[in-house]
Amino acid sequence: HRDADLDRGVAADVMSHKVIAISPDAPLDEAIHIMVEKRIRFLVVTEEGPEGRTPVGVLSTTDVIRHLRGPKWMWYHPENALIARPRVRQDRGTRN
């Protein structure tokens, strides 16, 4: 059974070993360029600290799209799907 394989594996067995990082103050266009060029969907965001670079977050293509779309993105969130649908106007014919 395939689920049994999950019991034998650890994250290190399947993770990506080459981590591509970006600083928190990097421009979004730079992040997008890296993602497109490297064909990746996530960047680790790191800050320089007393002990070297430390991860402080993850930037995903979805994060970028949400930022670029602004409030319109809320229309596409599954939890809002029932309450945030745009209203469609139905024509009832012409008025006399």
Three-state secondary structure call for residue 14: helix
How many Cα atoms within 13 Å fall on the side-chain side of residue 9?
10
Over residues 68-94, mean pLDDT: 57
Q: Do 28 and 64 form a contact (C-beta atoms < 8 A)?
A: yes
Segments of 15-90 assigned E as strands: 21-22, 42-49, 52-60
Query: What are the pLDDT digits (tens) for 3-61?
Result: 556 677 888 988 888 999 999 999 999 999 999 999 999 999 999 999 999 999 999 99
Across-strand partners of 59?
43
Q: Does position 70 have pLDDT exceeding 60, yes or no?
A: yes
**Residue ranges of domains in the chain, CATH in brackets:** 13-80 (3.10.580.10)
Does this model's pTM top 0.75? My answer is no
pLDDT on residue 21: 95
